Amino acid sequence: MEAISGTAFVVATIVKTLVFFVILLLGVALTTYMERKVAGFMQDRSGPNRVGPLGILQVMADGLKFILKEEVTPEAAHKRFFLLAPVLALFPATVLFGVIPLGSPLPTPWGRVDMIVADVPIGFLYVLGIASLAVYGVVMAGWSSNSKYSFLGGLRGSAQMISYEIGLAMSLVPVLMLAGNVEMPVLVSMQQSFAAGPGTYGVWFIFPLLLSGFFFLVSGLAETNRVPFDLPEAEAEIVGGYHTEYSSMKFGMFFLGEYFHLITTGALISVFFLGGWDIPFWRGDNIRVLADGTVIGDPAWWKTLLTMGAFTVKTTLLVVFFMFIRWTIPRFRYDQLMDLGWKVFLPALMLYIMLTAVAVFVLDRAQIVGPAFAGALFGLNLLLMLIFLYLLDRGRLVRGATAKTRAATATEGD
């Protein structure tokens, strides 16, 4: 089936943009509700339960509160940049969602409609480029507020996001080694369950690239500025960080931006490591679109709905996992945060990329392909994961405050 073209393509793109944006907004609203319910569960309380059935309308009450609260702009603030910062905080995660494939192609009387807003041929590189823009909103908010607390939060945020942006990009290099392609739908097709044919592995990339997935998960969590990586806000230390001086809907945009990033990070992990919209243990959704437009498989509207549901479930489970982390692990100290990024992740990723390159070369020369190729890499990654976690927990790099105090005391005693 040929892809739609001409006027139908323009109409379909507009419709997809509107529908996907509405879905993302609804997802953010439900995520804020789910966050409170998870927090209530973790703290042995009920969470929202007064506004609407099961407290579901609490989301609408919060949105109304943001809109109706008084707008306050500090007199000494740089007003243009003060207004622009919340937009820059919200923009990257929203735009990133446009290159994420949400389901299998949909057959229509006018042709094939791909369930992705913009199937750009540089999707992989587009993700890295746009994700790096998120730091500008944080820095601009901290600087333009003309407040010491906001400025400290902006400095922390810029250093943290730049540090973990490197880890985020490097953790995807092994994915590029296996895929040999930067198009997002191609990454999904290579991971389809029990897929057969050249260029496919038949397993999700989380298995042959287990350690890479771990690095991407932690770096992505750090990019969202959530606990245990919420040093740019750190209410107990710097009041509220880079958005201390913001109020009303401008503060609400930072709030929305955090949840936009949360959902987008979960969606990207699903695409890169969990097969995207692939349904496990089923061949029926193995639908591939080749470079010449040829479709392998049997697209159907009900398959599109099923695959979109599978993608939603994977992303939702990852978002809930992020929430459990927030309400379980305490905040890092800032020196621990930077030590983890520069002294642990960076050298570990460089070594991991070199070992993966050697392993891929050896397996290619041995003409091992498909699931056997993935199984050999899984064994290597499992071994490297155990070694990494063992060495990480030795208290030599990411140490507690008492360890440094004891070392200083021992030095003075000598």
Distance CA 223, CA 32 (A): 18
Give domain status of residue 330, yes or no.
Answer: yes
DSSP type of residue 340: I
* pLDDT at residue 207 tops 70: yes
Q: Is the pLDDT of residue 285 over 60?
A: yes
Query: What residues have CB less than 8 Å from 25, skipping those under 6 apart?
Result: none
Contact in structure between 242 and 145 (CB atoms under 8 Å)? yes
Long-range CB contacts (within 8 A, 24+) of 279-286? 279/193, 279/306, 279/307, 279/310, 280/193, 280/204, 281/193, 281/194, 282/193, 283/193, 283/194, 283/195, 285/104, 285/192, 285/193, 285/310, 286/189, 286/192, 286/193, 286/194, 286/195
Residue 207 CA to residue 178 CA, distance in Å, equals: 12
pLDDT digits (tens, 9 = 90+) for 361-394: 998 898 887 778 888 999 999 999 998 888 876 6
Question: Is 411 inside any structural domain?
Answer: no
- The reply to whether omega before 299 is within 30° of 0 (cis) is no
Mean pLDDT of the chain: 84
Residue 220 lies in a domain: yes
pLDDT bin (cut points 50, 70, 90) of residue 406 is low
280: left (phi over 0), alpha (psi -120 to 50) or beta: beta
In a domain? residue 225: yes
Range of the domain at 348: 7-11+62-394
Task: Compute the distance between CA of residue 2 and CA of residue 107 in angstroms, rounded to an integer.
Answer: 9
Predicted confidence band of residue 109 (pLDDT cuts 50, 70, 90): confident
Nearest-angstrom CA–CA distance, 141 and 243: 6
pLDDT tens digits along 223-280: 887 778 877 676 666 666 788 888 888 888 888 888 888 999 999 999 999 989 999 8
Stretch 201-225: mean pLDDT, rounded? 89
Q: Are 143 and 151 in contact (CB under 8 A)?
A: yes
Taking the CA of residue 375 as centre, how many other CA atoms within 13 Å lie in the half-sphere pointing to its CB? 5
Are 108 and 279 spatial neighbours (Cβ–Cβ below 8 Å)?
no
Task: Give the residue-averaged pLDDT of 53-61.
Answer: 88
pLDDT at 411: 65
Tell me, yes or no, whether 221 lies in a domain.
Answer: yes
Alpha-carbon span 285 to 256, nearest angstrom = 33
Question: Is the pLDDT score of 167 beyond 70?
Answer: yes
48 Ramachandran zone, left/alpha/beta (phi>0; psi -120 to 50): beta
For residues 133 and 288, what is the distance between their CA atoms, to the nearest angstrom? 32
Q: Determine the pLDDT at residue 402.
A: 59
Whether 118 is covered by a domain: the verdict is yes
* CA separation, residue 403 to residues 128, 234, 389, 395, 400 (Å): 37, 23, 19, 8, 5
The pLDDT of residue 315? 94
- Which of 94-98, 211-215, 284-288 reaches the highest mean pLDDT? 211-215
CA angle 166, 313, 89 (to 5 degrees): 40
What distance lies between CA 83 and its chain's CA centroid? 26
Compute the average pLDDT of residues 18-26.
88
State the pLDDT at residue 140: 87
The amino acid that residue 350 corresponds to is M
Instruction: Decide if pLDDT at 399 tops 70.
Output: no
Structural domains counted in the chain: 1
Share of the chain above pLDDT 90, in %: 21
Give the predicted TM-score (pTM) of the model.
0.89
Identify the three-state secondary structure at position 290: coil
CA separation (Å) from 307 to 2, 176, 282, 367? Answer: 20, 24, 11, 32
Question: Mean of the pLDDT values across residues 273-300?
Answer: 81
pLDDT on residue 1: 61
The whole-number pLDDT of residue 245 equals 85
- Residue 62 pLDDT > 80, yes or no? yes
Report percent pLDDT > 70 for the chain. 90
Q: Are 214 and 207 in contact (CB under 8 A)?
A: no
